[in-house]
Amino acid sequence: MHEARGENRPSDTGAGRVGIVFVSHSARLAEGLVELASQMAPATRLIAAGGTADGRIGTSFDAVSAALREANTGRGVVVLCDLGSAILIAATARDFLDDEEREGVYIVDAPLVEGGVAAAVAAEGGADRLGVVAAAESARTSWTAPAVSAESGKSPTEAVMTAPVEAAPDIRYARTVTLINVSGLHARPAAEFVRLANTFPAKVTVNGKDAKSLLSIMGLALVAGATAEIVSADASGQEAVDALADLVESGFGEERA
Amino acid sequence: MSLDATWVVEWMRHSARVLAENRAELGTLDREIGDGDHGENMDRGFIAVLSELDAIPDDATPGEVLRRAAMTLISTIGGAAGPLYGTALLKASDAVGSETQLDGASIVALLRAARDGIVLRGKAEVGEKTMVDSWTPAVDAASSAEGAGESPAGILRAAAEAGSAGAEATEPLIARKGRASYLGERAIGHRDPGAQSTALILHAAADAARNA
């Protein structure tokens, strides 16, 4: 059951990036999450620590301890856990690390799957440990997005999409583009989009949502054929908006819808 | 009168025996409000401690025995009980340092440190239907008994009895921590399995001291 953990990756995978550990009661859940997040963060060191040493449902102190060491790239380790005792095991394992190793390990209280994917994409983009933690924590509030507003009958996402644009400052720069690729602004394309957005200092929004947050972008649920208004009100924002709009129009290297 | 490393070794052996005997009962309690593996996990952990005891040198201090038992429990129990009991014994080990003879005050310090370790690790307070509901009355009773001039064996007996009463008193509570907290009011009427295993371990400590 441990083939999926580490051995099939070169040991220098993730050098220079924050490492991430997924602790789950289920080995398959942890390994599945590595598989899922690897798709969007192929160069990040993602380590699964799921199940007990003898393959049952549970968490293993020894497996988690080994994973914390394996994930240590020197830039810090962010840990996401499923249920309560996984957090207890992870916290205990961290306490037993050397002082120097322990300093870099941060256990995040966030939804495992959404937070884990967001953390992996942030790490892939070169975020530091606090940036990766913030990305994971953003998953806590992403749950509120799909709720349908009783007044308008529209989800907040739709409401944002159709809301009139607020009084625009003079420097506001916007481009409206259409999603032409099969999967729209979802999964890998969304990750690529967010990674590019994070390379610019300017604040950019897509249909009112933060272009640098994977969960916000994925929450827009922009499918093929949808339009995206990419906006920046920052003085240096034009370059970012153009790069992102060009990326969308390129179709992300995917088949056209 | 004081207790030495032999008492700690006997405490662990008595714990292993009583947890094996109560494996099914703890499993039943845990199935009612948790995931059902507490009896099995505790038994597995203490079987591993028994093997570890065989490897401990004769001149080991009480603190060393506690530390080795703690590390074994953390590695082998799995589930929340591993880090909780492991941290408890580790803090107990720190509390007695390199002492070779434990008097009443040291016994109280040992129990208090164990309880504090569990609170630190699990972030639970009294009244949340956890093992803390057994540990805290036990520590309070031990402290009172020590103040009244009881022997270490008498202190441990007082702690065990208060721990049992505390475990029983978890029955009407709503759980605020762990898997049982998902059940809300459905947890009412069931004894917390962690509080019950704590009571068993505290009785094992008292029984080990009786023959010391």
Question: Which residue, of A142, A172, A187, is where some domain finishes?
Answer: A142
Q: What pLDDT does A3 receive? A: 39
Compute the average pLDDT of residues B69-83: 91
Compute the average pLDDT of residues A38-64: 92
Cross-chain Cβ contact A58/B86 below 8 Å: no
Q: Kindly give, in sequence order, each residue whose CB lies less than 8 Å from that of residue A158, ignoring residues fewer than 6 positions away.
A: none
Whether A12 is in a domain gets the answer no
E strand or H helix that includes residue A48? strand A46-50
Inter-CA distances, A10 with A13, A43, A45, A77, B70, Å: 6, 10, 10, 18, 35
Confidence of residue A144 (pLDDT cuts 50, 70, 90): low
Question: Which residue, of A99, A120, A142, is where some domain finishes?
Answer: A142
With a cut of 70, say whether residue B119 has pLDDT above it: yes
Least Cα distance to B129 among B175, B79, B194 occurs for B175
With a cut of 50, say whether residue A148 has pLDDT above it: no
Confidence of residue B79 (pLDDT cuts 50, 70, 90): confident
Whether A23 is in a domain gets the answer yes
Least Cα distance to A177 among A215, A216, A231 occurs for A231
Same domain, A190 and A131: no
Cross-chain Cβ contact B80/A85 below 8 Å: yes
Strands A173-178 and A227-232: antiparallel
Cross-chain Cβ contact A89/B86 below 8 Å: no
Q: What is the largest CA-CA distance in chain B?
A: 51
- Tokens 């008498």 found at: B154
Distance CA A180, CA A252 (A): 9
Whether A13 is in a domain gets the answer no
Same domain, A137 and A169: no
Same domain, A169 and A57: no
Whether A4 is in a domain gets the answer no
Report the percentage of chain B scoring pLDDT > 90. Answer: 87
Q: What pLDDT does A170 receive? A: 64
Q: What pLDDT does B203 receive? A: 98
Least Cα distance to B121 among B68, B64, B185, B194 occurs for B194
With a cut of 60, say whether residue B117 has pLDDT above it: yes
A25 catalytic residue (yes or no): yes
Whether A151 is in a domain gets the answer no
**CB-CB neighbors (< 8 A) of A82 in chain B:** none
B118 Cα to chain A: minimum distance (Å): 11
Least Cα distance to A20 among A53, A40, A167, A55 occurs for A40
Same domain, A129 and A27: yes
A208: amino acid identity, one letter? G
Q: What pLDDT does A5 receive? A: 44
With a cut of 50, say whether residue A163 has pLDDT above it: no
Distance CA B108, CA B97 (A): 14
Confidence of residue B212 (pLDDT cuts 50, 70, 90): low
A109: amino acid identity, one letter? D
Residue A228, φ and ψ in degrees, nearest 5:
-125, 125
Confidence of residue A183 (pLDDT cuts 50, 70, 90): confident
Task: Choose the catalytic residue: A17, A25, A94, A129.
Answer: A25
Confidence of residue A154 (pLDDT cuts 50, 70, 90): very low
Same domain, A123 and A183: no
Q: What pLDDT does A11 receive? A: 59
Compute the average pLDDT of residues B19-29: 96
Range with top average pLDDT, A94-108, A138-152, B159-173:
B159-173
Compute the average pLDDT of residues A94-105: 90
* ipTM, interface predicted TM-score of the complex: 0.79
Question: H helices of A23-60, where?
Answer: 27-40
Same domain, A117 and A201: no
Question: Which residue, of A142, A170, A189, is where some domain finishes?
Answer: A142
**Structural domain of A200:** 156-253
Least Cα distance to B88 among B52, B142, B134 occurs for B134
Q: What pLDDT does A142 receive? A: 66
Q: What is the mean pLDDT of chain B?
A: 95
Count of beta carbons in the 10 Å neighbourhood of residue A236: 13
Same domain, A92 and A167: no
pLDDT, tens only, B25-66: 999 999 998 888 899 999 999 999 999 999 999 899 999 999
Q: Helices (H), strands (E): how many in chain A?
A: 10, 8
Confidence of residue B169 (pLDDT cuts 50, 70, 90): very high
Strands A204-206 and A173-178: unpaired
Q: Return the minimum-mean-pLDDT range out of A43-57, A138-152, B162-176.
A: A138-152
The alpha carbon torsion through B1, B5, B6, B7 (nearest 10 deg) reads: 60
pLDDT, tens only, B122-154: 999 999 999 999 999 999 999 999 999 999 999
CA A71 to chain centre: 17
Greater confidence (B34 vs A230) lies with A230
With a cut of 80, say whether residue A162 has pLDDT above it: no
For chain B, positions 34-93, list CB contacts with chain A under 8 A: 37, 41, 74-75, 78-80, 82-84, 86-87
Same domain, A70 and A98: yes
Distance CA B18, CA A129 (A): 46
What's the token pair of residue A29?
A: 């859940």
CATH of the domain at A216: 3.30.1340.10
Count of beta carbons in the 10 Å neighbourhood of residue A39: 12
Confidence of residue A157 (pLDDT cuts 50, 70, 90): very low
With a cut of 60, say whether residue B87 has pLDDT above it: yes
Residues forming beta bridges with residue A47, ordered by sequence position: A21
What is the total count of domains within chain A?
2
Q: What pLDDT does A164 receive? A: 44
With a cut of 90, say whether residue A145 has pLDDT above it: no
Whether A190 is in a domain gets the answer yes
The alpha carbon torsion through B173, B175, B176, B182 (nearest 10 deg) reads: -150
Q: Kindly give, in sequence order, each residue whose CB lies less than 8 Å from that of residue A10, ignoring residues fewer than 6 positions away.
A: none
**CB-CB neighbors (< 8 A) of B79 in chain A:** 58-59, 85
DSSP A164: P
Compute the average pLDDT of residues A159-180: 66
Residue A224, φ and ψ in degrees, nearest 5:
-55, 135
Same domain, A122 and A168: no
CATH of the domain at A69: 3.40.50.510
Cross-chain Cβ contact A89/B177 below 8 Å: no
Distance CA B68, CA B63 (A): 9
Is B145 in a helix, a strand, or coil?
helix
Same domain, A124 and A187: no
Same domain, A130 and A51: yes
Same domain, A111 and A32: yes
Residues forming beta bridges with residue A59, ordered by sequence position: A51
Q: What pLDDT does A147 receive? A: 42
Whether A204 is in a domain gets the answer yes
B190: amino acid identity, one letter? H
With a cut of 60, say whether residue A1 has pLDDT above it: no
Q: What pLDDT does A143 receive? A: 56
Q: What is the mean pLDDT of chain A?
A: 84
Distance CA A125, CA A119 (A): 10
| Domains by residue range for chain B, with CATH | 5-207 (1.25.40.340)
Please give the order of strands across the beta sheet that includes A46-50: A46-50, A19-24, A77-81, A105-108
Cα distance between the two ends of chain B = 10
Greater confidence (A27 vs A145) lies with A27
Compute the average pLDDT of residues A23-29: 96
Confidence of residue B161 (pLDDT cuts 50, 70, 90): very high
In this structure, chain B runs to a length of 212
Residue ranges with strand state E in A98-167: 105-108
Whether A240 is in a domain gets the answer yes
Beta carbons of A109 and A57 less than 8 angstroms apart: no
Q: What pLDDT does B190 receive? A: 92
Greater confidence (A212 vs B35) lies with A212
User: Chain A to chain B, count of Cβ pairs less than 8 Å apart?
Assistant: 40
Inter-CA distances, A191 with A139, B29, B73, Å: 15, 46, 42
